[in-house]
Structure 1
């Protein structure tokens, strides 16, 4: 028995677990890093303990500090969420030694399924269909090369302890194999502390189907249907839905029985997910088992009507599963997408910065009523800073419908009408995917984005329309010290503004015609805007007899100019008032190599005095689990280096200066 649950995680999943635990009557404890002190999950819990500095190794991965927090607060159960320590057998064992209930499977199941090699051997023994490949203990290059030649090409080289696409290489020909083995070993060792590899036949044009299973300690195991996670980018899930558009009752029964067999093979307990690849002939193959709650668990909750976190807590308390297999049914359809702080037009570069505005469209602004079939799981609030220490996922948008098309329409609207200002995000990318013909028809495979979606406009630098330039000029044409509701009377006469958005600059002339109408001229375009109303973050206006509303956030950039974030269908736009900026300031920095975002310097590739050419990579920083190369902007010599490997740096911090 336990009565107080410590949640060893952060963000939306920490909030999600704390909410259910409180509803069941449990006391809750949040843990947090120093940068997360103002995060919503901290104030939601009954108690909270700071674990340490921002780096995950000092906080959410620090087993000693987490157990110390549990002792301090007398928490007698720990829920690990997902990520971080959720699939760490040493952490589960440490909890057991402390007499603390680990809300998850036993250590042996975690350890077995944490090794792709050992897991695959166990699945073959249990009769679960597996992809042809090599999963032997002999890891010498010669044995791997011989095995690869027997398997045939193309094939996958995979880190045995890996996940999320790290330590994974696809090899098209034998001549590429040795290099792939070497690089996969290196990445796997750095990422997971193990360079053990497996080889598998590469299956193309497959669907990624996973089965949600649950087991208790009374020998009961059930599955709660499937999730289709075929829409992926670089082996990372982008859209998840339940049920799968291609599932039949017979196939669901076969895959469900295989997943249950996998769970029984490792004496499983709690929530788990067995992942399969489904080929074009409806043959399925075991991929891996995740011994935790999945990011995409809400779609299963919406189609079954059950709270999976509640089931986890009940099972951990020794209760039997609340339903048998015969009592579980599927109702309707649910789809989920993940909101990331990243720029799809810049190779999905993670973004950092302060969240100036967060408005998820889960409620009707006029009535305050919650929209039907809409759910937003969020771990952020306005004023929070998105930093480089953790994964850039900020929230999840989930919708339910009586059928797939209704769920899809609701999700498109939810994604498009929600606003996150202060940094760029991936909402336009998600919206375009949800509206693609392939997804609408339910024909997505795991290689769709890489093979068919690369030319989509959401992956290119956004072109700002004349209307957006004019709206920005209108909103920047009066000071934020004025009440926004008095915009229509705050300007007198005519003004000329110089605006910047990215690398583009424009000049706009504004003339106030009366208390509500403004004439704006940009290049050869002249438009009349009729201002209907404004509040702190929304401008309602009429243009060409059409009434529209646009969301914005404005702040003071310095003593005499302003910065504006403007929401648009293609992505967040960041404008600056450059009216008073000097030409010298505009030119500064071309010979300077600046950190692209907050992160850790992992390599500096040149020394002072060495010659470098424009475009050459001169340093690499790591942020949000990714490496980011930094390139020289000019030809010249390295004049001075201001950072060393291991240094923590801020975005736009000067790292290297080049003498032209």
Structure 2
């Protein structure tokens, strides 16, 4: 396999968000002009502003925009690009798209269409790996099967099993099945999700290993016959079969196992004459046996950890290989140094079944090194798709950013990353930040005891608990009340520096009502006295400073220095409407100030199931006047490319159904009313 090299001068990135910004960063360093494509929903996104040229794709949904190969290729031609980088997701593993790019006379920065096709179907890929001697798990095609045929296929594989989309990825189109009674719904749900996310509803059944490690090998090939492995990554900590924490190297892999994994990965890549960046994924059991899972024929989300431990820029290598150049010597003979860990920061609520969040980011600030030149020294890297003030919509994956730490050894990297996350200012939306911090500091994680059941085994009750405990939350409430008073007082025409509510003579306390409790406080000559719902909070107020807000930030900001039990600490408070965002040494919290006179019209009918996020109704499983039991499926909402079941909160009767299949709903919309004469209440659909 030989080729002549060519010069690339302008790249169109057929993607969005953080991966578009990441590719632009290397492209600019290589002297390439950059072109973005964007949907209407992304018109003001950072990646659009950072590109040299941007081309609009009319519409907001992926099917209208980023999945339209014809529009993307036309945009590349119109902008004068000579190559197209697909990023990950969307069209990155679409062989027809790669062919369309090449047919237009452009260079596809990725593998050949034939290689993509060979690995595009997980079923076909498993058969190929089996013929190549790579270990696989038992599986069978379940597309279109029902009744006895489906039951027979499941018996062939054995329970427990996974229902998987053949053309899927990112955890979508996957369902774990332990009970045969759940098989039909799992197959139908996975197929629906696969059609929505990937345009193909082919699904198969695969034997489920209960507690394996997810270990993958980064491979790279050039057009001069070189295929190399760049060590392994472990991505075992997952939710909904989607990775949350990734690291290199794996704490479970020693030199001998590493050699076997890399040999199998290189054999898999050579079996399809692979060119460019790819990842061969394996499941590793407790005996050290591994099984082929899939091959991703693209750059992985978690590629930064490999960059951190090797010192290689994988995107630069992609451009080099696409231009026909040989892999450099440092890639042909890579060196593994130190340890790197990456976490995916999502706009989602782990404590509420990972419910995705949409809305405005009031604050987004994570301290990272301007130059992340590992492995020369420890550092924090931030790959983000958003900035403060951005709107997080419902059309795309809710990942906000990836945060990566490198250190000479694993525990130091974990603790440095936890510290950076705990000090970050992230407000406006619920995120998984607190869960990530707890995982990184958890003894079992620090001991390297990770597998795909990690979150289930240790429990979200522990891992998803807020970093700020009840005592800390009461302290935050008092601080928020004082900050709100200071901000109001700062606009006074006279004596603006005097604390609001300060009295020269004894008088009644000031009162502020938050969603977490009622704060009573007094400021007088003796100092501050305060309580939350009658529970005393011991604080001394030392100083208050009203601070300006940054670009794109809303509301007003205030810093308070306080002392408790001889310990001095500082709090940053942002007040935006009725929201008070508090950052302190304990962690962060969001408090909602309650109106003094609530609007009666805002109340909903008892027993109402309301939408916790915008989405589309994909299934209605009950009828009006039907009796349901607690936990029974009422309907299914789809948002951010995932299905979210809405369940009956208790036994009762469906008094009303306000939605139909295909209907779009907004946050707070009443979907159905399920009530019983014995128990009634209002419930968010999550």
* TM > 0.5 fold call: yes
Alignment check: 8 A CA contact 2:539 2:562 kept: no
Greater CA drift, 192-201 or 454-463: 454-463
* SS of the residue 1:330 aligns to: coil
Kindly provide the CA deviation profile for residues 250-286 of structure 1, in whole angstroms up to 9, marking residues without a partner as x.
Answer: 2111111111111111111110000011111111111
2:540 is equivalent to residue 529 of structure 1: yes
Which position in structure 2 is the counterpart of 1:367? Answer: none
Match of 2:211 among 188, 199, 205: 205
* SS of the residue 1:405 aligns to: helix
Distance 1:614 1:385, change over 3 A: farther
Distance 1:517 1:296, change over 3 A: farther
Match of 1:573 among 589, 599, 617: 589
Alignment check: 8 A CA contact 1:339 1:397 kept: yes
1:613, distance to aligned residue in structure 2 (A)? 7.1
Which position in structure 1 is the counterpart of 2:354? Answer: 348
* SS of the residue 1:25 aligns to: coil
Structure 2, unmatched stretches of 5+, are 1-6, 371-375, 548-556, 681-686
Distance 1:306 1:134, change over 3 A: same
Alignment check: 8 A CA contact 1:510 1:518 kept: yes
Distance 1:134 1:573, change over 3 A: same
Distance 1:209 1:463, change over 3 A: same
Which position in structure 2 is the counterpart of 1:582? Answer: 598
Matched residues in 1 for 2:539 and 2:584: separation?
20
Match of 2:268 among 262, 269, 279: 262
Matched residues in 2 for 1:551 and 1:199: separation?
51
Structure 1, unmatched stretches of 5+, are 365-369, 557-561
1:229, distance to aligned residue in structure 2 (A)? 0.8
Alignment check: 8 A CA contact 1:638 1:657 kept: yes
Which position in structure 1 is the counterpart of 2:667? Answer: 651
2:521 is equivalent to residue 500 of structure 1: no
Aligned length: 644
1:527, distance to aligned residue in structure 2 (A)? 2.6
Matched residues in 1 for 2:181 and 2:649: separation?
35
Matched residues in 2 for 1:307 and 1:658: separation?
55
Match of 2:560 among 539, 551, 570: 539
Alignment check: 8 A CA contact 1:302 1:400 kept: yes
Distance 1:572 1:619, change over 3 A: farther
Alignment check: 8 A CA contact 1:499 1:575 kept: no
Distance 1:28 1:191, change over 3 A: closer
Matched residues in 2 for 1:188 and 1:47: separation?
33
1:238, distance to aligned residue in structure 2 (A)? 1.3
Matched residues in 1 for 2:146 and 2:500: separation?
75
Greater CA drift, 325-334 or 579-588: 579-588
Which position in structure 2 is the counterpart of 1:387? Answer: 393
Greater CA drift, 628-637 or 378-387: 628-637
Kindly provide the CA deviation profile for residues 595-644 of structure 1, in whole angstroms up to 9, marking residues without a partner as x.
Answer: 3212223345667x757779776554311122234568897875684x55
Greater CA drift, 40-49 or 64-73: 64-73
Distance 1:389 1:495, change over 3 A: farther
Match of 1:274 among 280, 290, 297: 280
Greater CA drift, 137-146 or 312-321: 137-146
2:446 is equivalent to residue 440 of structure 1: yes
1:87, distance to aligned residue in structure 2 (A)? 1.0
Give the aligned CA root-mean-square deviation in angstroms. 3.3
1:131, distance to aligned residue in structure 2 (A)? 2.1
* SS of the residue 2:329 aligns to: coil
1:223, distance to aligned residue in structure 2 (A)? 0.9
Aligned pairs for 1:368-379 within 5 A: 372-379=378-385
Matched residues in 2 for 1:185 and 1:655: separation?
24
* SS of the residue 1:455 aligns to: helix
Matched residues in 1 for 2:143 and 2:502: separation?
79
Matched residues in 2 for 1:318 and 1:62: separation?
28
Matched residues in 2 for 1:396 and 1:221: separation?
28
Alignment check: 8 A CA contact 1:424 1:572 kept: no
* SS of the residue 2:616 aligns to: strand
Matched residues in 2 for 1:87 and 1:568: separation?
44
Distance 1:472 1:617, change over 3 A: farther
1:373, distance to aligned residue in structure 2 (A)? 1.3
- TM-score relative to the length of structure 1: 0.89
Matched residues in 2 for 1:141 and 1:102: separation?
44
Greater CA drift, 574-583 or 385-394: 574-583
Which position in structure 2 is the counterpart of 1:467? Answer: 475
Match of 2:298 among 292, 309, 313: 292
Distance 1:474 1:136, change over 3 A: closer
Distance 1:391 1:572, change over 3 A: farther
Matched residues in 2 for 1:69 and 1:239: separation?
35
Which position in structure 2 is the counterpart of 1:11? Answer: 17
Kindly provide the CA deviation profile for residues 324-381 of structure 1, in whole angstroms up to 9, marking residues without a partner as x.
Answer: 66621101100011100011111111111111111102269xxxxx994111111111
Greater CA drift, 421-430 or 456-465: 456-465
1:143, distance to aligned residue in structure 2 (A)? 6.4
1:77, distance to aligned residue in structure 2 (A)? 1.1
Matched residues in 1 for 2:672 and 2:150: separation?
42
* SS of the residue 1:510 aligns to: strand
1:234, distance to aligned residue in structure 2 (A)? 2.3
1:174, distance to aligned residue in structure 2 (A)? 6.0
- TM-score relative to the length of structure 2: 0.85
2:227 is equivalent to residue 217 of structure 1: no
Matched residues in 2 for 1:258 and 1:144: separation?
32
* SS of the residue 2:539 aligns to: strand
* SS of the residue 2:216 aligns to: strand
2:293 is equivalent to residue 283 of structure 1: no
* SS of the residue 2:244 aligns to: strand
Aligned pairs for 1:109-188 within 5 A: 109-134=115-140, 145-146=151-152, 148-172=154-178, 181=187, 184-185=190-191, 187-188=193-194
Matched residues in 1 for 2:595 and 2:151: separation?
63
Distance 1:542 1:137, change over 3 A: closer
Kindly provide the CA deviation profile for residues 155-185 of structure 1, in whole angstroms up to 9, marking residues without a partner as x.
Answer: 3343322223334344446676566555545
1:500, distance to aligned residue in structure 2 (A)? 2.5
Greater CA drift, 591-600 or 167-176: 167-176
Matched residues in 2 for 1:154 and 1:593: separation?
32
Distance 1:102 1:538, change over 3 A: farther
Alignment check: 8 A CA contact 2:502 2:524 kept: no
Which position in structure 1 is the counterpart of 2:614? Answer: 598
Distance 1:230 1:569, change over 3 A: farther
Match of 1:400 among 406, 409, 421: 406
* SS of the residue 2:206 aligns to: strand
